[in-house]
Every structure is written in structure tokens, then in C-alpha cells.
């Protein structure tokens, strides 16, 4: 990297330097390095089965990460998504147990997610409360609400609908897990929106400089409001996949999930300051962390090491990114 950076200072940037300047390429290189490293060192790592398994495991963070990244880009944060995972599993499982209908259960869950998104979005965008405080508050309220309602017991999925179970262990063409398919489709759709639709550009504008966005005629409040709704709905989808995977509504579901997603999003180069980053970057961040934890498990390291190493990588990645940015400005 230092070679590429010095080149960009002295001479017109070479092709290589320009390529490396793109965050996504650096991330792809990291991802390949991680995969190559574990393919050599860990047994059974480099197999179609394991690769697709990792993809399935990554689908939760990938789906919720889209929303997290969009809210970050709009200049706000949403740390309520972990509690949301546990909350929306309640209507989902209860309605399915009562009606034996996946469609009704999912609709109920999405409705709950929508309400939570509206509350977060309204309090942030229209009431003007700092989004960290709002989502910290709703995080407490939802987790406490789930504990209250369930009496800290899991509610099992008694309906055992085939279509619901397929969400956890079904595979498209017997290869790619359905959960990963859902995540990829959502990712492609939202990535298209962020890059090529006016609303996507509005989100970048609002996050980059709200005052300028307002003067340009964008409804800053509305944009942020909608971003929170998107985030909650996507976290709802992640919650549905999680509920299918564990076959119940767990009161502890999604504990610390928000931190994992935030970590992956930031690793992917999406800035907390707003206006900077891409969904591709976020997705690469999620995949790097997921392959890393899978590979470390393959090496037989205790799970705690994954936490330690993930923590170090996040700090290192952001520090590196920051150093690069400062050099770009200074040089």
C-alpha cells in the first residue's frame, strides 16, 4: 500500500494506485488473503460445502448490514437491531403457531418491524433526538419488552412449516442456502438503489452535508425517516432467518448482534460521519469477518479468540483507512 500511496503523491497516479485507492479492491484483496490463508492452514476450509455454509451464516449480518450501512450513510446510527431480532420473532412464531401460515407470520413480523422503524425514524428525524440515544432507548425497551412478555423463556415453533424450516436448511439447486439467496437479492437491489436511483443519491447527499442537501431541495427529515424504516425492515428479515435457524423465538436472540454488524459495516469502509461508503464494501466487511471466524474455528482456536482478533482487526482497519485518508488530504 505504501508504494501505491507514494506514487499517488509524486506522479499522476498509476493504474495500480488508482485501483488500490478504491476501498472495495483493498477489501477484496483482504478477503482473498483470508480465504487463501485458511485454505492452506485449516482442514476442510476450502470446500464448496464450507464456503456455502459461511455464506449462509453471513446472511444475517449481510441483510441487517444493508440497513446499518444505509443509516450510517445518511449520517445516523441504529443500534436497536439486535433487540429487534428478538422482538419480531415473537409475532412471527406466535402467529405461525396460531394460523399455520408462514405468510401471515412474516407479515406480522414485518408490520412490527415497520412500527419500530417508524418510531426510531420519527424520534430521530422529526423530534430531532440524537439517533444513538433513540436507538439505545428502543434497544432497552424492546429487549425488556421481550423479557417481560416471554418471562425469559423461548417460545418454540410448534407449527414446523416446511417452508419456514426451508429458510434455515433449504438450499437453492442444493448448493446455496436460501437465506444467502435472500441476502444477495436484497443486497443487489439496495446496491442498485444506492448507486443509480435518485433516492440513493439523496441519502449520500443528506449524510455528506445536511445543510447543502436541504438547500438543494431535498427533504432531509423524510430521507432519514425512510432510512430508519429500511433498516428496521431489513433487520426484521434477518430476525426471521434467525428464528427459522433456531426454530423458536429466543428472548436472548441477537444479543450484541448490533455491535457485530456495526463492526463489519465500518470494516467495509462505511463512515460513521455519513455520506461515505458503499454496500459492496459493507458486504465484503461481513464476509471477511465471517470467513475469519469460520477459519479460526477450523484451526481449533477457542471462540473467544475470534472476538479478540475481530476486535483488533476492526481497530486496525479503521486506523489504516484513516491514515490513508489523511495522507490523501495532506499529500
Partner 1 sequence: MSELTHASAPRRFIGGQLLGSSQLVLGVILAVLCIAISIAAPQFYSEANIIAILRQCALVLIVASGMTMLIITAEVDLSVGASLAFVGCIGMAVLNSTHSLALGMLAALAFAGGVGLFNGLVVTRLRVNSLIATIGTMMMLQGGVYLFTREAVQNHNQLTSFTDLGAGYVGAVPVPVILAALIFTVAYVTLRFTTLGRYLYAVGANEKAVRLSGVRSERLKLFAFILTGLCVGVAGMILSSLMNAGQPTAGRGFELTVIAAVILGGTSLLGGRGSLFGTLLGVLVLKVIDNGIIILGWNQDLQMVVPGVVIILATYLDIIRNRANVR
103 binds partner 1 (CB under 8 A): no
143 binds partner 1 (CB under 8 A): yes
CA angle at 271 for the pair 295 and 277, rounded to the nearest 5°: 80
**Of positions 182, 193, 244, 266, contacts partner 1 by CB under 8 A:** 266
CB of 311 to partner 1, least distance (A): 3
Cα torsion 32, 34, 36, 42 to 10°: value is: -150
211 binds partner 1 (CB under 8 A): yes
232 binds partner 1 (CB under 8 A): no
**Of positions 61, 66, 263, 283, contacts partner 1 by CB under 8 A:** 263
Do the beta carbons of residue 272 and residue 75 sit within 8 Å?
Answer: no
Of the ranges 85-93, 154-162, 163-171, 209-217, which one interacts with partner 1 (CB under 8 A)?
209-217
Do the beta carbons of residue 70 and residue 231 sit within 8 Å?
Answer: yes
Question: What three-state secondary structure class fits 148?
Answer: helix
**Of positions 41, 153, 185, 305, contacts partner 1 by CB under 8 A:** 305
How does strand 176-177 pair with strand 171-172? antiparallel
**Of positions 9, 133, 172, 299, contacts partner 1 by CB under 8 A:** 133
From residue 276, alpha-carbon distances to 74, 96, 149, 251, 279 in Å are 9, 40, 40, 35, 10
312 binds partner 1 (CB under 8 A): yes
- Contacts with partner 1 in 6-65 (CB under 8 A)? none
First to last CA, the chain: 15
Task: Measure the CA–CA gap between 28 and 18, rounded to whole angstroms.
Answer: 15
299 binds partner 1 (CB under 8 A): no
Task: Measure the CA–CA gap between 100 and 97, rounded to whole angstroms.
Answer: 6
**Of positions 181, 318, 324, 327, contacts partner 1 by CB under 8 A:** 318
**What does the binding site for partner 1 look like in residue numbers (CB under 8 A)?**
75, 77, 123-134, 136-141, 143-145, 147-148, 152, 210-211, 214, 220-221, 224, 259, 262-263, 266, 272-273, 302-312, 314-315, 318-319, 322-323, 326
Amino acid at each position: 500500500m505504501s508504494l501505491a500511496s507514494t506514487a499517488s503523491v509524486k506522479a499522476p497516479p498509476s493504474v495500480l494506485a488508482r485501483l488500490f485507492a478504491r476501498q472495495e479492491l483493498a477489501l477484496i484483496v483482504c478477503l482473498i488473503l483470508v480465504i487463501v490463508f485458511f485454505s492452506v492452514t485449516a482442514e476442510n476450509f476450502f470446500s464448496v460445502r464450507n464456503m456455502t455454509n459461511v455464506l449462509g451464516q453471513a446472511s444475517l449480518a449481510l441483510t441487517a448490514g444493508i440497513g446499518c450501512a444505509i443509516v450510517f450513510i445518511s449520517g445516523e446510527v441504529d443500534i436497536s437491531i439486535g433487540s429487534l431480532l428478538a422482538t419480531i420473532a415473537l409475532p412471527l412464531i406466535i402467529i405461525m403457531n396460531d394460523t399455520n401460515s408462514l405468510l401471515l407470520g412474516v407479515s406480522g413480523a414485518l408490520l412490527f418491524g415497520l412500527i419500530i422503524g417508524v418510531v426510531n425514524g420519527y424520534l430521530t428525524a422529526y423530534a430531532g433526538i440524537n439517533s444513538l440515544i433513540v436507538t439505545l432507548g428502543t434497544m432497552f425497551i424492546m429487549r425488556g419488552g421481550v423479557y417481560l412478555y416471554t418471562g425469559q423463556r423461548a417460545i418454540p415453533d410448534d407449527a414446523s412449516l416446511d417452508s419456514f424450516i426451508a429458510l434455515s436448511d433449504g438450499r437453492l439447486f442444493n448448493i446455496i442456502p436460501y437465506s444467502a439467496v435472500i441476502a444477495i437479492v436484497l443486497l443487489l437491489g439496495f446496491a442498485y438503489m444506492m448507486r443509480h436511483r435518485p433516492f440513493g443519491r439523496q441519502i449520500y447527499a443528506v449524510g455528506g452535508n445536511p445543510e447543502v442537501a436541504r438547500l438543494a431541495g431535498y427533504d432531509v427529515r423524510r430521507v432519514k425517516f425512510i432510512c430508519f424504516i429500511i433498516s428496521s425492515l431489513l433487520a426484521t428479515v434477518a430476525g426471521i432467518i434467525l428464528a427459522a435457524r433456531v426454530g423458536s423465538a429466543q428472548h436472548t436472540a441477537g444479543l450484541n448482534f448490533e455491535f457485530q454488524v456495526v463492526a463489519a459495516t465500518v470494516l467495509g469502509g462505511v463512515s460513521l460521519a455519513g455520506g461515505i461508503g458503499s454496500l459492496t464494501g459493507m458486504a465484503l466487511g461481513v464476509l471477511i469477518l465471517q470467513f475469519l471466524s469460520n477459519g479460526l474455528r477450523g484451526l481449533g482456536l477457542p471462540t473467544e479468540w475470534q472476538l479478540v482478533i475481530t476486535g483488533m482487526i476492526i481497530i486496525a482497519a479503521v486506523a489504516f483507512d484513516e491514515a490513508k485518508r489523511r495522507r490523501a488530504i495532506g499529500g
